[in-house]
Structure 1
Amino acid sequence: MKKLLFLSLFLSLVIIMLSCEKDDEVNERDLIGVQWIESYEENPSEEIEIYRSERFNAFPTSRYRQMFYFESNNVCEYSVLAPNDAHYTARGTWEYDEDTDILKIYNSGAEEIYEFEVVEVTNDVLTLKTN
């Protein structure tokens, strides 16, 4: 009898756990409408990049920081570091696959220029893994 009670309790917990949405699931809407600015001082490794929202105002002085701005119509803006050490903002498009967590950014000529795995996104931090 105890085994049957334990088994039914265990199965109930498994069903509840499987039906709950993951808290760390990334949704495309979390990327939209925020200017994401690279906070390279916080990067834990070469393949992980940390971006902060424009609300973050504690960036140390820097000559250049990568920036992305994703719009809901899959248009984006991103910063470009020019060969003469200047920088400017360019427009392109973007797509995000919620199944694979892959974010791709394309220039105005539809060429893929960035591909990342989105590790985490909160209101203030975007963590990307370079592919």
Structure 2
Amino acid sequence: MKKSIFLSIIFILSLISSNAQESSISEFDLYGCWVLEKKIRPSNHIVVYKSCEDVAHENVKFGSKISLLAFNESEHESTGPLACFTTFTEKGTWEFDENSRIASLYSGHEWLKEFKILDPDEYASWGSPEKFEKLKFKVISIENNQLTVEIIPKQNGKKPIEDSSE
């Protein structure tokens, strides 16, 4: 009797622990339009993006809209350099590493191609970039049309430090 109870407890605990493990998140899970709400304050670089359909336009934080599309294409709101409080949609690219759960959004690839042709010497003096990093984040979870992420600060020209613990 004691053995059957003990085995039952072990079986139940193993089921609970297997369900508690992190579920895998694929690139496909990230597809869609995401925004931040105005009234929600992030803490320690943790933010919650919500599906665009779930947030009324007047409650969307200015300039926070990102769209992650198929074929590694993206769109994001940018502000104009000359006009305050105006936005335009900028096209870009994005990548997602399923192992590290890190997504990177890039912009400027079309502009840089043109710059490379028009002024190759100046382009080379910039280090010949192919794209600019716009946003980088680690996906924590996706539940109920909410994407919880940890924003990774930009390195400002420094090479990222490799994590040797992996």
TM-score with structure 2 setting the length:
0.62
Q: Which moved more, 1:98-107 or 1:48-57?
A: 48-57
The counterpart of 2:134, out of the listed 105, 113, 118, is 113
Q: Name the CA distance, whole Å, in 2 between partners of 1:57 and 1:96.
A: 25
Q: 2-side partners of 1:66 and 1:115: how far apart?
A: 13
Distance 1:49 1:63, change over 3 A: closer
More strand by share: 1
Cα distance in 1 for partners of 2:7, 2:61 equals: 61
Long gaps (5+) in structure 2? 110-129, 153-166
Contact 1:40 1:49 in 2 (8 A): no
Aligned residue in 1 for 2:89:
89
AA in 2 matched with 1:69: S
* TM-superposed deviation, 1:18: 5.9
Query: Bigger shift: 5-14 or 61-70?
Result: 5-14
Q: State how far apart, in whole Å, the 2-side matches of 1:62 and 1:54 are.
A: 9
Which has the higher relative contact order, 1 or 2, with Cα contacts under 8 A spaced 6 or more apart?
1
Distance 1:26 1:40 in 2: 27
Instruction: State whether residues 78 and 90 of structure 1, in contact with CA within 8 Å, keep that contact through their aligned partners in structure 2.
Output: yes
The residue that corresponds to 1:39 in the other structure is 37
Aligned length: 129
Counterpart position of 1:130? 151
CA-atom RMSD, angstroms? 2.8
Partner SS for 1:55: helix
Tell me by how many angstroms 1:98 deviates: 1.8
Deviation at 1:5, TM superposition (A): 4.3
TM-score for both structures, normalised by structure 1: 0.75
Q: Deviations over 1:71-106 (max 9, x none)?
A: 121111111122332321111111112222111111
Other structure's SS at 1:100 match: coil
1:45/1:88 Cα in 2 relative to 1: closer, same or farther (>3 Å)?
A: same
